[in-house]
Amino acid sequence: MNKEKFSKEVTREGHILLTKTCNNIIARSRLTEGTYKNVKCSFKSARKLRDSLKSEKKFMYKWYTLTKEFLEQGEIRPLRPVIDRIDEKGHYFKSNMQVLTCSENARKARIKKPCA
């Protein structure tokens, strides 16, 4: 893993984006209908999820790398970092999460759907 140091702006914005993403994951895991109806999260709060992910160096390196690209390109939504479930039928467990851009995540969802 590269030992690149990220600027304060990147780490600050990365922290904000990660917090928002973790809040969304917790909210989704509590839905009782729709796409995320039966998707659970192994963390009880967004803060605990965020803090656990922040302890993973490889995860955070990728998160900050994508955050940096997102900021450098003018905060274009398709470049925003998101947390994806590796196995989309699985739950939000730490071992089933990865960092992708919003567009990579959307592309993955389209590929997984069978053609009509």
Which domain, by its residues, includes 17?
8-112
106 lies in some domain: yes
- Angle 1-111-20 from CA coordinates, rounded to 5°: 55
pTM: 0.86
Q: Which DSSP state fits 5?
A: P
27 lies in some domain: yes
| pLDDT value of residue 29 | 92
User: What are the tens digits of pLDDT across the range 30-77?
Assistant: 998 988 888 999 999 999 999 999 999 999 999 999 999 999 999 989
Q: How far is CA 43 from the centre of its chain?
A: 14
Instruction: Count structural domains, the chain.
Output: 1
83 lies in some domain: yes
1 lies in some domain: no
2 lies in some domain: no
Question: At 116, is the pLDDT very low, low, confident or very high (cuts 50, 70, 90)?
Answer: very low
